[in-house]
Structure formats: C-alpha cells, structure tokens
Amino acid sequence: MTRAPLLYVCVRPQKGAAAAEYESFRRATRLDEAQLGQHDLVREALPADVFDRYSGFLVGGSPFNATDPESTKTDVQRRLERDLATVAERAVDATTAALFTCYGIGVVTRHLGGEVSRAFPEDTGPTVVELTGDAASDPVFGELATRFSALTAHKEGSAVPPPGGVLLATNDGCPVQAYRVGDTLYATQFHPEPTPKAFTERMAVYRDDGYFAAPDYERIAARVLAASVTEPVRLLRGFARLFGPEAPTVTA
C-alpha cells in the first residue's frame, strides 16, 4: 500500500526563495509534485487535517531565528513556531515523521527543553560534518559517509541535543549538526537540500541580511560552487524512502 505524500513546510517570507527551496527539496528527494506537497506556513496556519493527509514533513530554513527576543518576534513568527512545535510533538509521539532544517532545529530544540544560543554561528558556505557512533545504526544517516561537506549559514546553534535527542552529526564550529528524537523526528543544522548553485542563488536573496558581508558575495559563492555536497542529498533520499511515498519518482 502506497503511503501518503510528504509535505514541504515553508517558513521563508521571501516567496522566490521559498519556491526555489521547494524545488531543491523535491529534486533532492526525487519526488514529484504529487508526492511532495507544499504549504506556506508564513501566510497560512497548518490545516486541521494535515496529519491525516501527509505521512511526514520537511521543514525548510528561514531568516527568522529561534533566539530572537520574544519582544521582537512578529505575530507570524510566533504562530509558525507554535505550528512547528505541534509537528515536532507529533513526530516525537511517532504519529508522523519530520525533518527540521536550519532555523527549524532551533525551534525544535528549544521546544523540547534544549538550549539554543548565538554562541555557535557558522559562516555561509561549505563546512565539514562528522557523523557520531550512533549514526552508524541510524536508518537515515547510517548509509552516509562518516565525514562529508555540507552547506551552512546560521546565526545560532547548540552545544548538546535537547533531552531525549541522539546526536548524529557534529563539528567544532557548531557541535550539534544533526540529531534524532525517538524514531521519527530528525533535525539538521546544515541545509541538506540545495545544490551549490541553488545555494548561491539563495545567498543573493539574503546578501544584506547579515549572514556575510555583501561585498564578499562573489568570493563566497566561488567557494560554494567548488564544493562537493553529495551526502546531504542522500540523507534526504533516505528520509523519503523511509517515511514518504513508496517508489519515489526520478525527476529532472
């Protein structure tokens, strides 16, 4: 019996960047548009029947930060963080599956009682990630190389996973690069979905948002384009095989 489709959850206010991110997730998972739905959480709360219609969730990144002072958060950010927390709770209870990326890992970590701070930012561009011993037996991470390059751009991070979290990937700059809670909640600090080219296009959208000095765009973009980031995509394909529709479709 074929499982229900997965759902990409957009938490980016910029529509162009969100559309490109959806395509990156779709191509990385090798799912077609019927197998990977999309929902703009910035503009619309999660539907009441979302957990009945989808087998799992892929949460994209955002210029929001979980550590933004509550007084500066907009009503939209507060609402979408509550909705993301609901998805996380359902994944912890194993009534759905979810993979949270970048901004999402901060929201989930805090909701589950962990600490997120501005002490572990990473520069925009490729970084080296190392898997932990626990990753070897993980059904999603277990098939990956134990050391690989991934793309990052974030202002916050964590030293340890939240209570109940199993650390799956780490590095010196940001000790929590990925973790699992239970069997069906995953979170990554790095971006698993974009190709280097797609990442540079996203960089152009956010070049004035404080992730890097705007005049350095060309230099950083050249480093990104020269990077090999094969393993993060394999992570997404593994998640899709495990929790998404059966027999993923290879698309261009």
Q: What is the model's pLDDT at position 246?
A: 63
Q: Which domains does the chain have, with CATH numbers?
A: 6-243 (3.40.50.880)
Q: What is the model's pLDDT at position 3?
A: 79
DSSP 3-55: PPPEEEEE--S-HHHHHHHHHHHHHHHT--TTTEEEEETTTSPPPTTHHHH-S
List per-residue pLDDT tens for the chain, 252 residues long.
567 999 999 999 999 999 999 999 999 999 999 999 999 999 999 999 999 999 999 999 999 999 999 999 999 999 999 999 999 999 999 999 999 999 999 999 999 999 999 999 999 999 999 999 999 999 999 999 999 999 999 999 999 999 999 999 999 999 999 999 999 999 999 999 999 999 999 999 999 999 999 999 999 999 999 999 999 999 999 999 999 986 444 444
Q: What is the model's pLDDT at position 250?
A: 47
> pTM for this structure?
0.94
